Structure 1
Amino acid sequence: MPRPTGNVRLKAARVAAGFNSQQDLADALTRHAKDMGIRGLSIGVRQVRRWESDNPPWPQPDCQRVLSHLLGQSMEALGFTPPWGSGGSQQTGHSRRTLDASDAAGQRRVTLPRRLGAASQPSTAGVDFQAVTRSHRRLYCSVTPTQLHPAVVAHATLGCVLLPETMDSTRRTVAAALAETYLLAGRIEFFDLREPSRANGTLLLALQAAGEADDSLLGSAILAHMAFVPGWVADRDGALERMTAARTYARRAPASAEFLAWLDAVEAECETRSGNTRTALNLIGHAEDLLAAGNDHSSQDWMDWFSPARLAAFKGNTQMIAGHLLQARESLLHALASMTPAEDKQRSVIYGDLAAVEAASGNPEQACGYAEQALDQLAITWYATGMDRVREVRRALTSHQHERCVRDLDDRLYDWATTLSALGR
């Protein structure tokens, strides 16, 4: 596998910010300079190309200000080494790249050097580090997010220590596992802890690590997860920019039908939240066709968050929001029946959507029944997204709040354990 060339830090930050070409970034920097009151600064694509080269020159002060302000990172985090050196431990004749990210314990500094001296770790280091990454991935299905997240972040910190001490295939293995680890941390922050800004920063670290590994499919998966951040707040343009980048990366490597179908499902979710349910249903239909046809490429082992049952759940949610209640009920029941025990965490979301279908259909007792089943599942495997669904159903039942079934649901929803879990996780 060839080593990635160029300043992958700046490339990753550019793509994550929605600038899919060097020309796009050059134009945005020139406009942003004017907005910042820096007159006469014009940045061309040739300059951006130099900055994204293997040995990027240290930018002029005004360029530094605009780059850092537009992309939201320090110059070192963007892959530049100051003429006076980057500080920290020395690596004679080799440059270092520093990234900043925050974790539950506060601020930490991690270093992902692009060039290496001699390797000090054995060739087994990559496999050993990867094994823990895989274990964390499996534990996500059953371990409380607030308990798993610190372990995942600590593992990522270890990966940043190992990376400069490995070379060649071992380095690529560590980098890919580090990208997976940051991806898992970002998923927990977004879906379980409801911290989208923090998740976006973590996913950027994941994208940069995937660049170190030169793993296009992993990069595509990370970019698609990054699309959820604007997509969740109905920022359609922001979500589509990241989905365009994700699909571009997916074309650079053999992608399984399952992976391509998942990209459709992610974009459908973003379209649904922007109110474009017809577009979303068309995307889901295309995903179903992809899964039915299949292809010769096997799925990546790290892609454990998608299946035909999950696609049916996506479909049911979109149908419900579109007002197609009969079809939504059918899709959601099919998803529920098709899920494996390893997907139990997702059941709270499906129960919540079924409750929403019944609430919209004027069936408060059935709605409360499904909502209580969601709470039963949440007591086993907490999932903030599932609790969000239950609370949305309760709001939809306001006109029935004096009925016994709704009061019983309130007793469950606001008991000590559920309230403290919802507020404290």
Structure 2
Amino acid sequence: MSRPTGNIRLKSARVAAGYNSQQALADALTEAAKGLGIRGLAIGVRQVRRWESANPPWPQPDCQRVLTHMLGQDMESLGFTPPWEATTESPDRVRRNLITTTVAAVGLAAVPTQTALAVQPASVAADFTAVTRSHRRLYWSVAPATLYPSAAAHASLGCALLPETAGQTRKLIAAALSETWLLVGRIEFFDLREPDRASDTLLRALQAAGEADDPLLGAAVLAHTAFIPGWEGRRDDALERMVAARTYARRGQASAEFEAWLDAVEAECETRCGNSRTALNLIRHGEDTIAAGSHHPNPEWMDWFGPARLAAFKGNTQLKAGHVPQARATLLAVLDELSPGDAEQATVVLGDLAAAEAAAGNPGESCQYAIRALDQLAMTWYATGMDRVREVRKALAPWQHEPCVRELDDRLYSWSTTVSALAR
């Protein structure tokens, strides 16, 4: 069996970084040079072929900078022999030794660098992303509190893998890590009602999106962070984050539904801050945006929004604006359109319908919708849905001695419901 020849170290690092051909690496190096501020550097496939030969020439300084940046290893680790004598240490190696000695002398823990760790193969990106994709689907059927530890542990794995990858592999890992942190943050905010923890988690998601250089993921994370001040009535903070989210969305060529979702998020924040008219205008703009369409596709990970979800936002805003008949009609239409997999959203819509009937002076119908929401919550817990039911019960105070309201209280304060609410 013949042994492979040439610069195997560089070839292995290239493949591990996700560049399966010499041409792919050459193109990536040329593009990366622009990002590093190196003008006029064009690397062709012939140059890469020479570097992967049995006796590779020592690259020029600008090429060295781009190679080490893209592949995450120093020149010697990439199979290049420096032109100076073997007995003389290179300036970079002397500097590294000096830093290591100084850190050890003052008793600080050295931060592991990319070159000090094993380089993962390119296949690690597909493997890690596959688990992220599975968590995305499981969210719609598994109880969020059950899924939460697994998703958080997967994010920890991604943080450990990221320093061990480079190039395209590193970007793919970072994108999947950002999505995982986003899922964890959504569970913390919407399902577990822990906004402070969600704020920290979403910051990690934004950092990972930056590592992946994925502006759409960045826009999605920023829009989710707007919910936190928005629900607390801090309008200026929420709108500032929405401006940032829309800026990133423009860079990422957002789809029509993605842009409409941004309108819906901002409308939710405006509604929570008492600006229902502004919110309705935003939702109307979102409806027009979806109707106009776009040639940009939805990102694969955006599975939480569609026309029915936009209508649900609309129904809630109409309700808060006092447009009860319109809200009822909108919410009933949404309830008919929801799929079996939209259990969480169903609890919110049922809660809003209960609130609409209470506002219309129909306690019996209101209690029926609230009990249906509780039935769904018994199967799929959703803190936001429970909040809606509690708000309805407050609105039913004028009828609290009616049999229908007492029946709702029996359900709302049953052993299982009370324990579940306090435990979460």
CA distance in 2, matches of 1:248, 1:117: 37
Aligned counterpart, 2:173: 174
CA deviation after TM superposition for structure 1 residue 87, in Å: 5.3
Q: How does 1:300-311 map to 2 (within 5 A)?
A: 300-311=299-310
Aligned counterpart, 1:102: none
Aligned counterpart, 1:29: none
CA distance in 2, matches of 1:299, 1:344: 22
1:240 matched to 2:235: no
Aligned counterpart, 2:364: 365
Decide whether aligned partners of structure 1 residues 89 and 152 sit closer, same or farther in structure 2, where only a CA change above 3 A counts: farther
1:160 matched to 2:154: no
Task: Return the letter of the residue paired with 2:325.
Answer: L
Aligned counterpart, 1:291: 290
Aligned counterpart, 1:230: 229
1:422 matched to 2:418: no
CA deviation after TM superposition for structure 1 residue 389, in Å: 0.1
Aligned counterpart, 1:337: 336
Q: How does 1:175-194 map to 2 (within 5 A)?
A: 175-194=174-193
CA distance in 1, matches of 2:158, 2:129: 9
Aligned counterpart, 1:122: 121
CA deviation after TM superposition for structure 1 residue 90, in Å: 5.4
Aligned counterpart, 1:413: 412
Aligned counterpart, 2:255: 256
Decide whether aligned partners of structure 1 residues 339 and 359 sit closer, same or farther in structure 2, where only a CA change above 3 A counts: same
CA distance in 1, matches of 2:192, 2:117: 40
CA distance in 2, matches of 1:395, 1:374: 16
TM-score after normalising by structure 1: 0.74
Task: Return the letter of the residue paired with 2:420.
Answer: S
CA distance in 2, matches of 1:403, 1:415: 18
CA distance in 2, matches of 1:147, 1:210: 26
Decide whether aligned partners of structure 1 residues 174 and 409 sit closer, same or farther in structure 2, where only a CA change above 3 A counts: same
Task: Return the letter of the residue paired with 2:379.
Answer: I
Decide whether aligned partners of structure 1 residues 124 and 357 sit closer, same or farther in structure 2, where only a CA change above 3 A counts: same
Q: Gapped runs of 5+ residues in structure 1?
A: 7-53, 55-82, 95-114
CA distance in 2, matches of 1:218, 1:88: 33
Alpha carbons 1:142, 1:345 under 8 Å: kept: no
Q: How does 1:131-170 map to 2 (within 5 A)?
A: 131-170=130-169
Count of equivalent residues: 328
CA distance in 2, matches of 1:404, 1:116: 71
CA deviation after TM superposition for structure 1 residue 5, in Å: 6.3
Deviations 1:86-128 (A, max 9, x none): 955654xx4xxxxxxxxxxxxxxxxxxxx65676211110111
Aligned counterpart, 2:53: none
Deviations 1:37-89 (A, max 9, x none): xxxxxxxxxxxxxxxxx9xxxxxxxxxxxxxxxxxxxxxxxxxxxx9599556
Aligned counterpart, 1:15: none
TM-score after normalising by structure 2: 0.75
Task: Return the letter of the residue paired with 1:388.
Answer: D
CA distance in 2, matches of 1:87, 1:166: 25
Alpha carbons 2:174, 2:209 under 8 Å: kept: yes
Decide whether aligned partners of structure 1 residues 87 and 335 sit closer, same or farther in structure 2, where only a CA change above 3 A counts: farther
Alpha carbons 1:365, 1:405 under 8 Å: kept: yes
CA deviation after TM superposition for structure 1 residue 348, in Å: 0.2
Alpha carbons 1:176, 1:213 under 8 Å: kept: yes
CA distance in 1, matches of 2:404, 2:313: 28
2:251 counterpart SS class: coil
Q: How does 1:79-98 map to 2 (within 5 A)?
A: 84=103, 88=109, 91=112, 94=113
Aligned counterpart, 1:104: none
Decide whether aligned partners of structure 1 residues 170 and 319 sit closer, same or farther in structure 2, where only a CA change above 3 A counts: same
Decide whether aligned partners of structure 1 residues 260 and 116 sit closer, same or farther in structure 2, where only a CA change above 3 A counts: farther
Aligned counterpart, 2:3: none
CA distance in 1, matches of 2:193, 2:165: 35
CA distance in 1, matches of 2:317, 2:237: 20
2:120 counterpart SS class: coil
The worse-fitting range, judged by mean Cα deviation, of 294-303 and 138-147 is: 138-147
Deviations 1:163-185 (A, max 9, x none): 11111111111000000010001
CA distance in 2, matches of 1:293, 1:351: 30
Alpha carbons 2:191, 2:383 under 8 Å: kept: yes
Aligned counterpart, 2:277: 278
1:341 counterpart SS class: coil
Aligned counterpart, 1:394: 393
Decide whether aligned partners of structure 1 residues 250 and 401 sit closer, same or farther in structure 2, where only a CA change above 3 A counts: same
Decide whether aligned partners of structure 1 residues 116 and 376 sit closer, same or farther in structure 2, where only a CA change above 3 A counts: farther
CA distance in 1, matches of 2:111, 2:418: 51
Deviations 1:215-245 (A, max 9, x none): 0000000000000000001100000010000
CA distance in 1, matches of 2:108, 2:122: 28
Deviations 1:223-270 (A, max 9, x none): 000000000011000000100000010111111000000000000000
Alpha carbons 1:220, 1:245 under 8 Å: kept: yes
CA distance in 2, matches of 1:128, 1:380: 32
CA deviation after TM superposition for structure 1 residue 342, in Å: 2.1
Alpha carbons 2:103, 2:109 under 8 Å: kept: no
Deviations 1:290-347 (A, max 9, x none): 1111010100111011011000000000000000001101111111111122222210
Alpha carbons 1:116, 1:167 under 8 Å: kept: no
Decide whether aligned partners of structure 1 residues 117 and 255 sit closer, same or farther in structure 2, where only a CA change above 3 A counts: farther
Aligned counterpart, 1:34: none
Alpha carbons 2:260, 2:287 under 8 Å: kept: yes
1:378 matched to 2:409: no
Decide whether aligned partners of structure 1 residues 325 and 165 sit closer, same or farther in structure 2, where only a CA change above 3 A counts: same
Decide whether aligned partners of structure 1 residues 256 and 278 sit closer, same or farther in structure 2, where only a CA change above 3 A counts: same
CA distance in 2, matches of 1:179, 1:284: 28
CA distance in 1, matches of 2:117, 2:368: 62
Task: Return the letter of the residue paired with 1:294.
Answer: G
Aligned counterpart, 1:321: 320
Alpha carbons 1:140, 1:148 under 8 Å: kept: yes
Alpha carbons 1:196, 1:229 under 8 Å: kept: yes
Alpha carbons 2:117, 2:163 under 8 Å: kept: no
Q: Percent identity?
A: 65
